[in-house]
């Protein structure tokens, strides 16, 4: 007996009224927890990861979610039956949540040709009055989601990944994919024709890379802008000078610090942020000046500080 599938909402730990944002956040949290890279050799975690991806694939798509809410795990079969109904001209076929077949109000509601067309489309022909006229309906294959984790540096510059996928014949195959510069958390990258096989001559589905960008220890990202703290010596804050601003390229930019700069002042470096995913230049880099107080002061230096403090007070 086949195992009963767990409700997709329970898989992600969200309510049936969850928003798209709540579903996305739940998916990202669970996908990171059970990702095979973080659980090498753990078959249970791998199975859980696949289950999470399957649930997210359906609940993140408004149309698929609507059908799942109505039909349960049989939503794909129900979709096929509805499509056959639209093409065959019958209007009384109904699916109920969790049902495994089609039911009609009465047999009289369907003419002979409609009845034959319906079962010909769904089951490929039969044996009534010399056989139904079987008719193959071309349908596209299923779309698949593949979670991909990248660093902020990789999101900045773009990168590549080699995926291990299962082919239509069940054999593993390798697929090299490009992740463009500018991707962010939740970005979906379409790889055309790399999803499930089509039915009846229909096109293959698509593969969607669902990107998660790992937090960075130094930079904070907000949309296409980047934020970074820049340590500045006390004497430079007081007298003016230059500070070095790090970048995700690995290089540093010279930033002019005016005299008497206050701690926490933010400087905008235009065009030094993240590339915009769909073109249009880059965001900005915001550098926050953080004063670095000297340590190990000599007696002479302490006297000078006291002198400065005394002059400021007067």
Query: In the predicted model, what is the mean pLDDT of the chain?
Result: 80
* pLDDT the model gives residue 131: 44
* pLDDT the model gives residue 196: 84
* pLDDT the model gives residue 99: 35
Q: What residue spans define the domains of the chain? A: 67-123, 138-214, 220-313
- The 10s digit of each residue's pLDDT in 273-299 is 999 988 779 999 999 999 999 888 898
* pLDDT the model gives residue 292: 93
What's the longest Cα–Cα distance across the chain? 111
* pLDDT the model gives residue 2: 41
In this predicted structure, the answer to whether residue 33 has a pLDDT above a threshold of 80 is: yes
* pLDDT the model gives residue 78: 65
- The 10s digit of each residue's pLDDT in 175-192 is 999 999 999 988 999 999
CATH topology of domain 138-214: HSP40/DNAj peptide-binding domain (2.60.260)
Task: Give the number of other CB atoms < 10 A from CB of residue 264.
Answer: 10
- Give backbone dihedrals phi and psi of 222, rounded to 5 degrees, phi first: -130, 105
Give the burial string for 176-213 (b: 16+ CB within 10 Å, else e).
Answer: ebebeebbbbbbebebeebbeebeeeeebbbbbbbbbb
**Intrachain domains 138-214 and 220-313 with the same fold:** yes
* pLDDT the model gives residue 84: 55
- The 10s digit of each residue's pLDDT in 47-95 is 888 888 888 888 988 888 988 888 887 777 766 666 555 544 433 333 3
C-alpha 92/C-alpha 82 separation (Å) is 10
* pLDDT the model gives residue 289: 96
- The 10s digit of each residue's pLDDT in 103-115 is 333 333 334 444 4
Domain 220-313 -> CATH class: mainly beta
C-alpha 211/C-alpha 207 separation (Å) is 13
C-alpha 102/C-alpha 95 separation (Å) is 6
* pLDDT the model gives residue 208: 92
In this predicted structure, the answer to whether residue 133 has a pLDDT above a threshold of 90 is: no
CA quadruple 127, 132, 133, 136: dihedral positive or negative? Answer: negative
Three-state SS annotation for the chain: CCCCCCCHHHHHCCCCCCCHHHHHHHHHHHHHHHCHHHCCCCHHHHHHHHHHHHHHHHHCCHHHHHHHHHHHHHHHHHHHHHHHHHHHCCCCCECCCCCCCCECCCHHHCCHHHHHHHHHHHHCCCCCCCCCCCCCCCECCCCEEEEEEECHHHHHHCEEEEEEEECCCCCEEEEEEEECCCCCCCCEEEECCCCCCCECCCCCCCEEEEEEECCCCCCEEECCEEEEEEEEEHHHHHHCEEEEEECCCCCEEEEEECCCCCCCCEEEECCCCCECCCCCCECCEEEEEEEECCCCCCHHHHHHHHHHHHHHHC
């Amino acid at each position: 007996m086949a195992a009963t599938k767990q409700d997709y909402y329970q898989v992600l730990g969200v309510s049936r009224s969850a928003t798209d944002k709540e579903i996305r956040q739940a998916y990202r949290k669970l996908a990171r927890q059970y990702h095979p890279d973080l659980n090498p050799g753990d078959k249970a975690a791998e199975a859980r990861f696949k289950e999470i991806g399957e649930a997210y694939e359906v609940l993140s798509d408004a149309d698929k979610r609507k059908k799942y809410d109505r039909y349960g795990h049989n939503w794909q079969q129900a979709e096929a039956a509805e499509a056959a109904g639209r093409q065959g001209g019958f209007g009384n076929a109904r699916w109920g949540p969790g049902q495994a077949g089609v039911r009609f109000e009465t047999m009289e509601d369907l003419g002979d040709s409609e009845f034959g067309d319906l079962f010909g489309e769904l089951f490929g022909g039969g044996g009534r009055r010399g056989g139904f006229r079987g008719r193959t309906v071309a349908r596209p294959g299923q779309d698949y989601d593949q979670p991909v984790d990248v660093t902020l540096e990789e999101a900045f510059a773009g990168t590549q990944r080699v995926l291990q996928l299962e082919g239509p014949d069940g054999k593993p195959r390798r697929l090299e994919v490009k992740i463009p510069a500018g991707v962010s958390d939740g970005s979906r990258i379409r790889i055309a024709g790399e999803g499930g096989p089509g039915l009846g001559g229909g096109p293959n589905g698509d593969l969607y890379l669902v990107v998660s960008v790992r937090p960075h220890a130094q930079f904070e990202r907000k949309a296409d802008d980047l934020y970074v703290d820049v340590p500045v010596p006390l004497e430079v804050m007081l007298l003016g000078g230059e500070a070095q601003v790090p970048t995700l390229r690995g290089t540093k930019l010279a930033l002019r610090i005016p005299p008497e700069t206050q701690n926490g002042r933010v400087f905008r470096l235009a065009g030094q942020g993240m590339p915009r995913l769909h073109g249009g230049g880059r965001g900005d880099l915001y550098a926050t000046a953080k004063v670095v107080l000297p340590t190990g002061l000599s007696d002479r230096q302490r006297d000078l500080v006291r002198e400065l403090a005394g002059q400021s007070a007067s």
